[in-house]
Amino acid sequence: MTVAPIAPVQGVLPTNYVGGASPVAGTDGSAFATSLTGAVDNLQQLQSTSNQLAVSAVTGNLDDIHNATLAATRAQVTLELMSTVRNKGVDAFNEIMRMQA
């Protein structure tokens, strides 16, 4: 079983973005929501793959432990990244709320 590479997050820049120019984003936030949804789906897939390889390793059905180690590390790093993004989002929200008070 091979481990799929971490896919880049699609939809971060609007389709009318030209390198060096200011991106013109829609006001509805759909591109951001799509990016976050894709990132969470990717994380779930990485964790699922990691769990399957871990079970295979425990039951003795895994030929190459290297794949299991890579999958576990990718899932861990991606989870840490998602946690950091979430924390930064909460911090930004709290800062905005402080400015309004």
**Using one digit for the tens of pLDDT, what is the confidence trace for 51-86?**
999 999 999 998 889 999 999 999 999 999 999 999
How confident is the model over 15-27, as a mean pLDDT? Answer: 52
Domain boundaries of the chain, sorted by first residue:
30-100
Nearest alpha-carbon partner for 26 in 15, 36, 35, 18: 15
Cα distance between residue 30 and residue 88, in whole Å: 19
CA distances from 60 to 3, 47, 57, 66 (A): 18, 20, 5, 14
Cα distance between residue 3 and residue 6, in whole Å: 9
Nearest alpha-carbon partner for 31 in 41, 23, 43: 23
- Mean pLDDT, the chain, rounded, equals 82
How confident is the model over 3-15, as a mean pLDDT? Answer: 55
How confident is the model over 11-36, as a mean pLDDT? Answer: 63
Length of the chain: 101
Task: Indicate whether 12 pLDDT > 50.
Answer: no
The whole-number pLDDT of residue 17 equals 44
